[in-house]
Amino acid sequence: MSDDGPPLLFVALWGAFALLMLLGQMQLIERGSPIAMSYQIVESSDPIAIAALDR
């Protein structure tokens, strides 16, 4: 085994996790949940969910 980078299984698992999180976020947005990116938060009395996959 070479030391060129992370193991393929590790990359595949994290890629699958990121894809599932993105699909879950899209489901929440489609159902009308108030999701905002971290730079879009404004003062509000309503609860706001922050997107987890922000850069």
Report residue 26's pLDDT band, with 50, 70 and 90 as the boundaries: confident
The contacts of residue 37 (CB under 8 Å, 6+ apart) are 50, 51, 54
Report residue 28's pLDDT band, with 50, 70 and 90 as the boundaries: confident
| DSSP code at position 31 | T
Q: With contact defined as beta carbons under 8 Å apart, do 22 and 35 qualify? A: no
Give the H or E element holding residue 50: strand 49-50
CA 15 to chain centre: 11
The pLDDT score that the predictor gives to residue 30 is 86
Report residue 17's pLDDT band, with 50, 70 and 90 as the boundaries: very high
